[in-house]
Structure 1
Amino acid sequence: MIRILFVCLGNICRSPMAEAVMRHLIEREGLSGRITVDSAGTGDWHIGKPPHAGTREALDRRGISWEGIRARQFTKRDLDAFDYIVCMDTSNRRDVERFGRGSARILTFMELVRDARSPDVPDPYYTGNFEEVYALVEEGCEELLRRIRKEME
């Protein structure tokens, strides 16, 4: 079983969007029994809350379920509980790496986006641009799944 964790700041915008999109792609490809996905935030402000309304709306427009997704905080245990920890920006990555080293491969989400103009996925909590973030998330999740499929061969 390959385990993926997406991490952002509050776990209500970017990382739950990535979790939902990746779950959707995994289901579509018939890989639900082989890959699991979760998301977490480095902060604790939104623990237990569903994704932000903007994230829910972007997912709903595309028929992607966000059911069951609730904000939680990243913990040190996550470093060994997941194979991939994908941080939505460089600040999140620094926060995750402060917990130390584990067995997970830690990367920044924009490493998965071709021709990325920034190392960070913009935070739509502040920008309000959920559509821009969705486009990045979709491209990055497709690339991550492509890499994982290749690894599984």
Structure 2
Amino acid sequence: MIKVLFVCMGNICRSPTAEAVFRKMVEEAGISSEVSVDSAGTHAYHVGEAPDVRSQLAGRKRGYDLSGHRARQITMDDYRTCDFILAMDWENLTELQRQCPPMYRHKLHLLMRYASEYDAAVIPDPYYGGANGFSLVLDYCEDACQGLLEIVKRRVSMYAPSLIKDSGAS
């Protein structure tokens, strides 16, 4: 099982959006039995809360359901068990690096390192802005998650080649 964890500060906007986007991509690729997708926050500000309503609305418009998510804070067990721990911005990456045991730091990256359409290093926090910020988060997450999916599919194929759906070749 390949475990992917998306991380932002409070786990109510960006990281649950990335989780929903990537979960749908994993399901559509037919590898959900081989890939675990989750999200967490570096801080405990919103533990137990549903995602921001604006995130849910923006996601719903594009076919993503964030309603079942409840915010949680990253745990020491996450560092040990996850294969990819992907931060939304530099501040959260720095916090992850501070908290993470040294032997697991190689798992920490910015999600946008997997993007190909957008040349941004980070996914900006939309919390204090307008609705456009939540759409931009989705744009960035869709782009970066597509690149991430290619990496994850290659890893899955090393262990279970028959699980990867044909990409259209006959």
Q: Same fold (TM over 0.5)?
A: yes
User: 8 Å contact 1:79–1:101 — kept in the other structure?
Assistant: no
Q: Does residue 146 of the first structure (1) align with residue 150 of the second (2)?
A: yes
For 1:124-143, list aligned pairs within 5 A: 124-128=126-130, 129-143=133-147
Q: Larger Rg: 1 or 2? A: 2
Normalized against structure 1, the TM-score is what?
0.93
Alignment of 1:99-110 (within 5 A): 99=99, 100-103=101-104, 105-110=107-112
Q: Unpaired runs of 5+ in structure 2?
A: 158-170
Residue aligning to 2:42: 42
Q: Out of 3-12 and 23-32, give the one that drifted further.
A: 23-32
Change beyond 3 A, Cα 1:69–1:102: farther
Separation (CA, whole Å) in 2 of partners of 1:26 and 1:43: 27
Structure in which a larger fraction of residues adopt helix? 2
Q: Is the 8 A contact 1:88 1:120 kept in 2?
A: yes
Q: Give unmatched runs, 5+ long, in structure 1.
A: none
Helix, strand or coil: the match of 1:11?
coil
Counterpart residue identity of residue 109, structure 2: L
1:11 matched residue in structure 2: 11
Instruction: Tell me which residue corresponds to 1:79.
Output: 79
Q: Give the CA RMSD over aligned residues.
A: 1.4
Post-superposition Cα deviations, 1:93-124, rounded to whole Å, max 9, x if no partner, equal 11011122344611101111126443221101
CA distance in 1, matches of 2:137, 2:108: 20
Q: Percent identity?
A: 39
Q: Give the partner amino acid of 2:29.
A: E
Find the aligned partners of 1:54 and 1:71 in 2 and give their Cα distance: 15
Matched, 1:113 2:111: no
TM-score by length of 2: 0.84
Residues 24 and 65 in structure 1, CA contact (< 8 A), matched pair in contact too: no
Map of 1:66 onto structure 2? 66
Deviation at 1:143, TM superposition (A): 0.7
CA shift in 2, pair 1:40/1:102, >3 Å: farther
The CA deviation at 1:65 is 1.7
Give SS of 1:124's match.
coil
* 1:49-60 equivalences in 2 (<5 Å): 49-60=49-60
